[in-house]
Amino acid sequence: MSNDFLSLANTGVQKLRPYQAGKPTDELERELGLTDIVKLASNENPLGLSDSVKAALQQELTELTRYPDANGYYLKQALADKYAVALNQITLGNGSNDLLELIARAFVDNSHEVMFAEHAFVVYPLVTQAIGATAVVVKAKDYGHDLDAMVAAITDKTKLIFIANPNNPTGTFLEQDEIKGFLKQVPSNVLVVLDEAYFEYASAERRGNAIAWITEFPNLIVTRTFSKAYGLAGLRVGYSISHPDIADILNRVRQPFNCNALALKAAETILQDEQYLADSVRLNDAGMKDLSAFFDAHDLQYIPSMGNFITVNVGQSGDEVYQKLLLEGVIVRPITGYGLPQHLRISIGTDAENQRFKQALTRVLNLQ
């Protein structure tokens, strides 16, 4: 006798498909027997782990029989010092992705609407569907957010708005005055999550400091991560900064010990390593210029990006080109699921990895 367990699941969960991460290198090795593989699919930092973090993790290993600090005091203190906020404004997460879900689950139910842009991060619709809320997808403008259209789409059922800046997977960027003008028009009972996972890669003179706006806009929540520019994707640690009352609610529903001891120590350490961050950004800037010039030279349309990735139109099925690149030992990210069936997202790698990608794409597309 078998049970229909799917029918026992919540309605929203029944229709969900699991999040599809970038293909791991070892999976491609198992499938095709390749050993020389370049992965440019998951927006990971190609610089490698910071030496300062390696040393800190080595010291922390002796304490792994004990639970981590459930409140993450030292990491919170480091963040509070860096951003001039209070400890009670900070919520830690198992990556910033964890916080996006926490926010939705804490504040939204099936009577509410959650708004986000077309071509925005796939977790926004996933979490919306999982909790049974109504997704309001606002058509993109030049592959990015149309903030005027988003304001116009707000109803009395709107509870939460997600804005990614820079946006993933398109890399588009909203200027600070645009975002601030938008916040002035959003009702105070509607939460706005400014997802800044790629904040550190954006142009320093243009990215501003949205955290400083929380006093003026207490319905604003800023989320960031250590997975990208800080190179800690494998340890999964992120944070949100918000009004203390919002942080209090998030910390009520946050799982205890959602950040492990190694993640807490690594994040606290890398936050002080300014040289590593500068090197990460410098490597990314150089790679971005190189790939942009390559696409220009071959008349391939791409979306100018403020992230650590670039999205290019290959002029044919992105899924098919992706499969052909796998045979070349190069893993990128097809984004048909984001409504961009002829585009591929390529993470910026080391110079050697970028050259390998260019050579492979040249062969696959028969570029001259």
Residue given tokens 């990614």 in the structure block: 164
Q: Are 201 and 194 in contact (CB under 8 A)?
A: no
Write out pLDDT tens, residues 148-157.
999 999 999 9
Write out pLDDT tens, residues 245-261.
999 999 999 998 999 99
CA distance 34 to 81: 47
Give residue 91's pLDDT band: very low, low, confident or very high (50, 70, 90).
Answer: very high
The answer on pLDDT for 204 being more than 90 is no
Write out pLDDT tens, residues 314-359.
999 999 999 999 999 999 999 999 999 999 999 999 999 999 999 9
Write out pLDDT tens, residues 132-178.
999 999 999 999 999 999 999 999 999 999 999 999 999 999 999 99
pLDDT value of position 37:
85
Give residue 21's pLDDT band: very low, low, confident or very high (50, 70, 90).
Answer: low
DSSP state string for 121-188: -THHHHHHHHTTPEEEEEPPBTTB--HHHHHHT--TTEEEEEEESS-TTT-----HHHHHHHHHHS-T
pLDDT value of position 8:
65
Average pLDDT over residues 100-121: 96
Give the strand order in the sheet containing 238-241: 90-93, 238-241, 220-225, 191-195, 158-164, 113-117, 134-138
pLDDT value of position 19:
61
pLDDT value of position 199:
96
pTM of the full predicted structure? 0.93
Angle in degrees, 0-180, between the axes of helices 51-60 and 261-270, rounded to the nearest 10: 150
pLDDT value of position 218:
97
Q: Are 131 and 105 in contact (CB under 8 A)?
A: yes
pLDDT value of position 205:
86
Write out pLDDT tens, residues 24-70.
777 776 777 777 889 999 999 999 999 999 999 999 999 999 999 99
Write out pLDDT tens, residues 268-315.
999 999 999 999 999 999 999 999 999 999 999 999 999 999 999 999
Q: Are 131 and 109 in contact (CB under 8 A)?
A: yes
The answer on pLDDT for 16 being more than 70 is no
CA distance 111 to 117: 20
The answer on pLDDT for 1 being more than 60 is no
Count of helices and strands (H, E) across the chain: 15, 13
Q: What is the mean pLDDT of the chain?
A: 94
